[in-house]
Amino acid sequence: MSDNYQKNFTQILDEFKSGDKSKAFKKQENYLKNNPNDDVARFNFAIMCDETNKEDLAIKNYKQVIMNDKSHWESRFNLYILYLDKKLYKQAHQYVNEVLEIKKNFYPAQRDKALILNYLQKPDEAFEYIVSALKQNQNDHIALNTLGLILISLKRLKEAKNTFIRAIEINPKYFSSYNNLGHCYTLLHKRKKSFEAFSKALTLNPKSLEVKNNLANYFIDKGDYNKALDYYFEALKFDPKNNSILFNTGIAYTNLNNEDKAEEYYKKSYAINPNSEGLHKAYSMLLLKQGRYKEAWKLFEGRLKLGSFYAKDGDMYNMRKKLSNNKKLLKEDKILVVREQGIGDEILYASMYEDMLKKYPNTCFESDKRLITLFERSLNIKSENIFFPFGTFTRKEKDLTNFNNVTFAGSLGKLFRNDIRNFTGKNFLKPELNKVTEIKKILDDLGKEKKIGISWKSQKARYSEDKTINLEELKPIFKIPNVKFINLQYGETHDELENFQNNENIKITTINKLDLFNDFESICALLKNLNLFVTVSNSTAHLAGAVGVPTFLIKPPNHATFHYWNQKNERTPWYNSIKLFNNKNAIQNIKKEIIKFIN
């Protein structure tokens, strides 16, 4: 670089820093037209592009510098930072590796590589890398923040929480650690703590869209949808084309039952990023509620690309490659259908297994082992080569090569439930007759009163609080005369039940030696003998619908209601025997319905 240019360049930089960025940018651009091989000038021009939000032009110029100077690590460093910001993690991984090839012990790149690996869903590898990096500086709050994120990915939430707290102790003004701590508290179901952490993060960085979005999501989960909208709208003032915030706004309007506004925001989000998996899942929920099934199932497949879909069962990761290689289904294909996460969803989508076997007779299923005998009996299957315990094939990637196609049970909707007329809603599970007779005798011995089953809790981690009813709230129902209430609540409820019955002088019968968590055969036989079942949204509700017992179901708040219960009327097309009650005034309405039902 000539002395003359050095002088001019210093003036251009001063001009750029002083605020007249546009004029300085133009001068630098003109210089490069006449001096295209000046890598120093080009590198600084790329920085100018980056700082004026011309990311694509910055990337182009950094790459040009790299072509001319194979050892220019600074361009590679800035490139991977740019790709990180754009969430292009494979590209970021490429350039952070190139930086480390040139500067083997460059600590910031080592630290950032761990973050990139975590984003690439390689948390085990990322963990080893960040632990190694932290040995060089154990008090690096940025590295600790990255470690916390990796621990979240590894489901080590309490360790993650303590790591973020340690990072905050080192640097109390680093807002990202507060924001991530808030997310960690959300996963730990400590909503008040999450709100405090998000609020502190926003105080430190009032312009952070991510924090505003997280606070809005907090109010969604709290059921305050209008307050959530306030935060979403505030965020959209800063970034009106933010895909995530737009579809989250759509979710808020969906929860407010304002379907027109919800769809407006989903469409805005779709126009910006039609490949957003989060948007696809959210939009599909609205379309399913509206009965636009053919459109809905196409978007519903977006869930398969979300990391959270696979998080509960590590074996499911083996399916990703196989899913991407699926071809059009043929009648003679050997097909594997794998259960959805959660017993309730597995039972619901099993209503399509009969359709699947009729159309594709070489299908087999991986199921929760507690359901297999029920499925085999209900479908009148005598072969041992159709139902297998979950993980039989998915645990090893090579075992999946035995199948022409692999699919999840929820994806059967696009084959068999594209119109409301495709739903039968009929009961499809058949309990074992000897168990039905055995339990009938037990119930008959209790007296001639009507037998009503009761279940009041859900164990689903994220929404368990929203889907649970306190026994105290159910007292008006328990006061109805000439009824024997039968306990069907799984989980640890002994002390809760005993205290409630003693304090209120109310009797709820528990059938001894009946495993309400594992013995689905006996649970179905018990349900079959009931006159009525009153429940919240949990897996037993699905068993009741599949068996065909008359059921009154208390819907949770909208944000915790899944598509099969989120209907415009009191019925779901999936189960004819279930009547839905909105959680507002549900108990009084159910009491009236029970009195009518038993008289």
Chain segment 212-267, per-residue pLDDT in tens: 999 999 999 999 999 999 999 999 999 999 999 999 999 999 999 999 999 999 99
Q: How confident is the model at residue 309 (pLDDT cuts 50, 70, 90)?
A: low
Q: For 66-109, how does the pLDDT look when each residue is reduced to its tens digit (9 = 90+)?
A: 999 999 999 999 999 999 998 899 999 999 999 999 998 899 99
Provide mean pLDDT across the span 451-473: 89
Q: For 278-301, how does the pLDDT look when each residue is reduced to its tens digit (9 = 90+)?
A: 899 999 999 999 999 999 999 998
Q: How far apart are CA 486 and CA 450, in angstroms?
A: 10
pTM, two decimal places: 0.85
Provide mean pLDDT across the span 505-523: 94
Q: What is the DSSP string of 218-285?
A: HHHHHT-HHHHHHHHHHHHHH-TT-HHHHHHHHHHHHHTT-HHHHHHHHHHHHHH-TT-HHHHHHHHH
Q: What is the DSSP string of 417-469?
A: -SSGGG----------HHHHHHHHHHHHTT-SSEEEEEE-----TTTTTTT--
Q: How far apart are CA 251 and CA 259, in angstroms?
A: 10
Q: How confident is the model at residue 15 (pLDDT cuts 50, 70, 90)?
A: confident
Q: Which amino acid is at 438?
A: E
Alpha helices in 274-326 (DSSP H): 277-289, 293-300, 307-310, 319-324
What average pLDDT does the chain have? 92
The pLDDT value recorded for residue 91 is 96
The pLDDT value recorded for residue 56 is 93
> Across-strand partners of 509?
486
Alpha helices in 52-122 (DSSP H): 55-68, 73-85, 89-102, 107-119
In 3D space, the residue among 346, 349, 303 whose CA is nearest the CA of residue 323 turns out to be 303
The pLDDT value recorded for residue 455 is 97
Q: What count of residues does the chain have?
A: 599
pLDDT surpassing 70 at residue 446: yes
Q: Given strand 450-455, what is the order of strands in its sheet?
A: 508-509, 483-487, 450-455, 532-536, 551-554, 575-581, 571-572
Q: For 404-439, how does the pLDDT look when each residue is reduced to its tens digit (9 = 90+)?
A: 999 999 999 999 999 999 999 999 999 999 999 999
The pLDDT value recorded for residue 312 is 47
Q: How confident is the model at residue 337 (pLDDT cuts 50, 70, 90)?
A: very high
pLDDT surpassing 70 at residue 8: no
Pick the range with the lowest mean pLDDT from 208-212, 399-403, 470-474, 518-522.
Answer: 399-403
- In the chain, the domains with their CATH numbers are 207-310 (1.25.40.10), 312-422 (no CATH), 433-598 (3.40.50.2000)
Q: How confident is the model at residue 325 (pLDDT cuts 50, 70, 90)?
A: low
Q: How far apart are CA 26 and CA 269, in angstroms?
A: 34
The pLDDT value recorded for residue 37 is 87
Q: How far apart are CA 508 and CA 250, in angstroms?
A: 43
The pLDDT value recorded for residue 157 is 96
Q: CB atoms < 10 A from the CB of 94, how many?
A: 15
The pLDDT value recorded for residue 272 is 95
First CA to last CA distance, the chain: 97
Share of the chain above pLDDT 70, in %: 95
Q: How far apart are CA 265 and CA 90, in angstroms?
A: 30
Q: How far apart are CA 457 and CA 492, in angstroms?
A: 11
Provide mean pLDDT across the span 500-523: 94
The pLDDT value recorded for residue 573 is 98
In 3D space, the residue among 530, 551, 534 whose CA is nearest the CA of residue 444 turns out to be 530
In 3D space, the residue among 568, 520, 572 whose CA is nearest the CA of residue 547 turns out to be 520
Q: For 143-172, how does the pLDDT look when each residue is reduced to its tens digit (9 = 90+)?
A: 999 999 999 999 999 999 999 999 999 999
